[in-house]
Structure 1
Amino acid sequence: MTSKHTIPQPGTARNRPGSTDPGAEFDRQVHNLAERDYPAMARLTPEQFTALVAPLRDLVTDVGHEAWAPDTGRVPFLLVVTRDVVPIERATARTTLHGRTGPGFVDRSFEPGALERFVAVEETGLPDRRVYLLLDVERGEEFCGAVPHDALDTIAARGRTPLTIEEGVALITHFPEVLVKNKCFSLGGSRSGDRRVPAIWISRHTPKLGWCWEGNPHTWLGMASAGSRRAAVER
Structure 2
Amino acid sequence: MSEKAVDVEVEFDRQVERLVELGYPELAGRPAERFGESVAPLRELVRSRTIGEHDPENGRVGFALVVTRRLVPIEQAMQRTALVGRSTPGFVDRSFEEGSLARFVAPEAVHVPDADAYLLFDVDRGEEFCGAVPVDAMDAIAGRERTVLTIEEGIALLTLYPEVLVKNKCYMLGGSRCGDRRVPALWISRNAPKLGWCWERNPHTWLGMASAASRVAAA
Q: Bin the TM-score by the shorter chain.
A: over 0.9
TM-score (norm 2): 0.97
Aligned partner of 1:143 in structure 2 is 129
Aligned partner of 2:204 in structure 1 is 218
AA partner of residue 9 (structure 2): G
8 Å contact 1:200–1:209 — kept in the other structure?
yes
8 Å contact 2:51–2:62 — kept in the other structure?
yes
**What SS class does the counterpart of residue 12 from structure 2 fall into?**
helix
AA partner of residue 143 (structure 1): F
AA partner of residue 128 (structure 1): D
Deviation at 1:65, TM superposition (A): 4.9
8 Å contact 1:182–1:221 — kept in the other structure?
yes
Aligned partner of 1:91 in structure 2 is 77
Aligned partner of 1:183 in structure 2 is 169
- Count of equivalent residues: 218
CA distance in 2, matches of 1:160, 1:168: 15
1:139-218 to structure 2, matched below 5 A, reads 139-218=125-204
AA partner of residue 118 (structure 1): F
AA partner of residue 24 (structure 1): V
**Could you list the per-position Cα deviations for residues 201-234 of structure 1 after superposition, in whole angstroms to 9, with x for gaps in the alignment?**
000010000000001000000000000001100x
TM-score (norm 1): 0.90
**Could you list the per-position Cα deviations for residues 126-170 of structure 1 after superposition, in whole angstroms to 9, with x for gaps in the alignment?**
001110000000000000000000000000000000000000000
Q: Which has the higher contact order (CA 8 A, sep 6+)?
A: 2
2:107 maps to 1:132: no
**Runs of 5+ in structure 1 lacking a partner?**
1-15
8 Å contact 2:51–2:121 — kept in the other structure?
no
AA partner of residue 104 (structure 1): G
Deviation at 1:26, TM superposition (A): 0.3
8 Å contact 1:20–1:65 — kept in the other structure?
no
The alignment's C-alpha RMSD in Å is 1.1
Deviation at 1:17, TM superposition (A): 6.9
AA partner of residue 102 (structure 1): T
CA distance in 2, matches of 1:116, 1:92: 15
AA partner of residue 197 (structure 1): V
CA distance in 1, matches of 2:55, 2:107: 28
Taking only the aligned residue pairs, the percentage that are identical comes to: 64
**What SS class does the counterpart of residue 71 from structure 1 fall into?**
helix
Deviation at 1:40, TM superposition (A): 0.3
| Runs of 4+ residues over 2 Å off in structure 1 | 16-20, 62-66
Aligned partner of 1:11 in structure 2 is none
Aligned partner of 1:61 in structure 2 is 47
CA distance in 2, matches of 1:24, 1:181: 29
Deviation at 1:66, TM superposition (A): 5.4
1:6-21 to structure 2, matched below 5 A, reads 19-21=5-7
